[in-house]
Structure formats: C-alpha cells, structure tokens
Amino acid sequence: MNSKDYGIPQNRERVWMFAKLGGLPKDFSMEPEKIINGLYMADFLDPKRYVPKGMYLSDEQIAHLKVKHNIDSFKVKKALCFDVYNKKIKTDGYSITITMPEHNSLRVIEPNRNKEVVRKMSVTEQFRLMGLEGLNIKGRKVDIVFGNQSYTQLSKRAGNGWDVNLVTILLEFIFKQLKDIDEDWLS
C-alpha cells in the first residue's frame, strides 16, 4: 500500500500483513478504498515564517546541486519536492519517501519570484507527512513533544515511522470486516 493513495501526499510504499487464528474469510481484503482528497506536499509544509533559517540552502549550495544533478533551474510556481537520489524535481506534487537524514535524499523547492529557494524539510513537516499532525493552517499546533532531541534524531524517528493515517485506515477496515463476520472475535 502507498501512503499517497490514502490521503498523505508521500510516496511511501509498504507491505502490510494480517493474520487471524483460525484463518480469514474468503472475501477478506487488505485493501481499503483509496482516498483522493486533493492534498499535495505543499499543503503539509510550514508557513515560511515557521521554517528555521538553518533549513535553507545558500546560493552556493544551490549552485552546487544544480551542477551535480544537472538541474537547469529550481524556479517553481508551487512548492515541490526535489528527489536528490533520482536527480529530479517531482512535478506531481507528492513527496518522495521520508528517509533518515543520512540518506539526505529530499529537498523542498519553494516558489520565489526573485531567486531559487531550496531547503531541507523541517521536523514538523516530516511528522505531518507521517500523519502525526493536523492540517490546521492557522497556528499549526504541533501535537508531538519533541523534547531536547536534535534535528537528526527527530528526522530518524520520522523516517523510520509508520504513516499513522494509513495504519488507522487499514486497521479500521480490517476490524470492520471481522466485526461484520464474527462479533465474538472482537470481544
């Protein structure tokens, strides 16, 4: 299953397995109906004033990326994902899979009339793309206590995590099927 098919605009393909003692019904399915909600990576990004200044690449770093990855321009009309590993700007509006920071494979490209703007994804954006924070644009309340962990530690947590949105959808779908078949199983 892929997170981008269930409301989170991240290309995060994972294999899910479920078993039940005594077996599962013949018509049992592990694939809930896909959710198309029209949301893209840009909808999950922090407002510019919330992004730490240290996330932004310098002009020199951007120039180096362009040469190294044969990119003509990072000028975009809407926020997009730059896939460093595959050396391309993703124009479909989805994020690549969030990974641990040592893989260093994702950059956010922001629209700007005057210059090219490329940056790292903030911690709150990473967790939001893992389904762990609401989409309320006003205030962007963070519902995770980060403590005193570093960017690297928090990014590892996000990169190794599950998309809780997809897990919730999947478990509700599974338990509804089993409840409809065997009320005793769930009690």
State residue 129's pLDDT score.
93
State residue 178's pLDDT score.
86
Sheet holding 117-119, edge to edge: 88-90, 80-83, 106-110, 117-119
- Phi, psi of 3, rounded to the nearest 5 degrees: -55, -35
State residue 139's pLDDT score.
54
State residue 132's pLDDT score.
80
State residue 180's pLDDT score.
63
State residue 135's pLDDT score.
46
How does pLDDT run across 27-41, given as a tens digit for each residue? 899 999 999 899 999
**Stated pTM of the model:** 0.87
pLDDT mean values, one per 10 residues, the chain (187 residues): 95 93 87 94 89 94 96 96 95 94 90 96 91 59 74 91 92 87 56
How is residue 136 written in tokens? 């309320």
